[in-house]
Structure 1
């Protein structure tokens, strides 16, 4: 009995004791809130005031600050009235269904200082396909002397063209404007006086007419011959991260040709701020205007490579020029078998970017034309074409 009574007394005393205090647990959530708040403040500060040009960037982060900020949402920028108007017009043009033609043609646009040394070769190329093409010639220095009936009276009103200046783009737009006057022209090809065809007409026609993109070269080059040519004066419409480079020689669909003619906003930026001597550099508008323009406004509508082959393997300021002794069936076979586009950056890394040439999603040979062929190669090229050795 005494033991039982003692047990009950112990239990009674136990209930009288106050519950234990857990002060440490009450403080823990407060510290978590404080810690999270500090992290949030740090992230906001790093986003608003990036540390990319500070030594602290590399102290706080083990990798570059660019990597750190890449997952943050991009800052929004209010478009100007001119940008809104430009984008509305271009968007509506791209969404407008293309008018069908009973006689769709390809416009071959030749940008040349004068006579075309390969007219006889192009004559062979065009022969028998009348009504499926048109020819337009921009001769900037002298009136051409023609050797082919397809080129007679096909000159447009031409202007002076200076290498490395906006006048090169002006000449391209002048050719497009004249070719667009024919509603049957559905695809537009820019060629130089040193260009030659690599395939017969039917192959080229089907390749271009039934594609779902324009073959405009566009890639990002962080080096001095790419983004190094950019000028901050192009802001806000053209930001450096959107600045692109590419070969001048393009082919494009009619809708794309129309939006090039409709553009004045972005063209003006390149006319005024992509030119020799801008910020102590030389910016070549013909290498940057169209690649940047289409990257900004219709990146999925271009192939990001040019169907005109050129050989830069010699590492000089100008591409390799093909001489008479260079011409052989094997040379043409080598060029026409290439099925990957290659871009090399101009920075110290010399990074090589290789991508398959996709035609409507199918990997196919990249090139329809090639340059720079010297006039002395004409007879050998005609011989190869006539004998169908490689075409």
Structure 2
């Protein structure tokens, strides 16, 4: 037997297999762990410290902060300051006070004017025969007015200087409200300029205002430079940028809202101190932002978000369209009084057109009761047009 030959068994040779190979230990996917950790840290930071500028937002998303906020959990509710709690408590109680409307309820017509009112004859025709259903108040900021109508004589209130764009405009509005609120019969308050005219007869306007619980305060969100671009972070914490609103100053409001405007000092003081032309390189116009922002914060469901006073900004200039004597036609008034949709245009590059129906007690109705800017020379033509002040 040959000892050098391997042992054979069966019909074939048995092969001696090599032993198992020893694999090196598997490396942990450390890069995955690092990536997940970084994403987690980023999400936590974004949640706790959301980006404040659009540039920071667009680093992470082409859609900006709005896209990020859609998939982040909601931020925790901010704890109100002591001043806010006190203010909200007072406002809540006032708003919960039921109105005391009766047959003796009146509409307060408050005129904010530099001097004499050019349309007193027109307003006299409008008021005639409705004594006991209205009150008149005149705030003349530059010179003592000369009155031609008996309805305006002795109706001047203590006035102060008003400078466009400054808080003095809001001060004049509040001064008018303070005087009008002294009469408990006044249940609705309309702010009018010297260039305003009524578009309907007295009964139509009286019923429109008295038979709704809304206040007609213009209010919309403008992300552009003439809207949220005027916001100052000094208004924090009480006024956040997301609540900053814009609107025309010409309001019509119910008594409860007039009272809370007079009771407010917290939000008013923020606009007094931080909303003024030239502050921080911005031209913040207090009368365009105070009331819209205030009501959006404290009672957003109580306002209509449009003004019942029409003005034409379609020419996209610094000043609205004005009407001279030759412009006064029946068709002009019909066009204005048939509008039943509120329109706003943002001041950013998109020039977004915002539209919503003018709803009166849930029913879509024409938006406007008054209109402005009319030249004094238009009065005679307006008197002819509204000879009996019937609805056109």
Superposition TM-score, scaled by structure 2 size = 0.87
| Partners of 2:155 and 2:55 in 1: CA distance | 62
Q: 1:61 to 1:277 in 2, by over 3 A?
A: closer
In the TM superposition, what whole-angstrom CA distance separates every residue of 1:21-72 from its partner, at most 9, and x where no partner exists?
Answer: xxxxxxxxxxxx9999987655333312435759886575564342221352
Shift of 1:311: 0.5
| Partners of 2:390 and 2:203 in 1: CA distance | 16
Q: 1:64 to 1:332 in 2, by over 3 A?
A: same
C-alpha contact 1:164 1:283 (8 A) present in aligned 2: yes
Give the structure 2 partner of residue 157 of structure 1: 158
Q: 1:62 to 1:233 in 2, by over 3 A?
A: closer
In the TM superposition, what whole-angstrom CA distance separates every residue of 1:182-235 from its partner, at most 9, and x where no partner exists?
Answer: 000000000000000000000000000001200000000011111111111111
Give the structure 1 partner of residue 366 of structure 2: 365
Shift of 1:91: 1.0
Shift of 1:74: 2.6
Give the structure 1 partner of residue 148 of structure 2: 147
1:43 matches 2:43: yes
| Partners of 1:118 and 1:305 in 2: CA distance | 24
1:243 matches 2:241: no
| Partners of 2:267 and 2:62 in 1: CA distance | 39
In the TM superposition, what whole-angstrom CA distance separates every residue of 1:319-364 from its partner, at most 9, and x where no partner exists?
Answer: 0110111000000000000000000000111000011000011000
1:78 matches 2:79: yes
In structure 2, runs of 5+ residues without a counterpart are 1-32
C-alpha contact 2:323 2:375 (8 A) present in aligned 1: yes
In the TM superposition, what whole-angstrom CA distance separates every residue of 1:276-308 from its partner, at most 9, and x where no partner exists?
Answer: 111011111000000000000000000000000
SS at match of 1:282: coil
Give the structure 1 partner of residue 67 of structure 2: 67
1:116-265 mapped onto 2 (5 Å cutoff): 116-265=117-266
1:355 matches 2:356: yes
SS at match of 2:253: strand
Shift of 1:77: 1.8
Shift of 1:101: 3.7
| Partners of 1:287 and 1:52 in 2: CA distance | 24
Q: 1:62 to 1:147 in 2, by over 3 A?
A: closer
In structure 1, runs of 5+ residues without a counterpart are 1-32
Q: 1:323 to 1:47 in 2, by over 3 A?
A: same
Q: 1:159 to 1:65 in 2, by over 3 A?
A: closer
More helix, by proportion: 1
Superposition TM-score, scaled by structure 1 size = 0.87
1:300-315 mapped onto 2 (5 Å cutoff): 300-315=301-316
| Partners of 2:95 and 2:232 in 1: CA distance | 29
Give the structure 2 partner of residue 316 of structure 1: 317
Q: 1:97 to 1:40 in 2, by over 3 A?
A: farther
| Partners of 2:49 and 2:283 in 1: CA distance | 31
Shift of 1:315: 1.3
SS at match of 1:367: coil
SS at match of 1:279: helix
* Cα RMSD after superposing both structures: 2.2
| Partners of 1:130 and 1:63 in 2: CA distance | 58
Give the structure 1 partner of residue 11 of structure 2: none
Give the structure 1 partner of residue 23 of structure 2: none
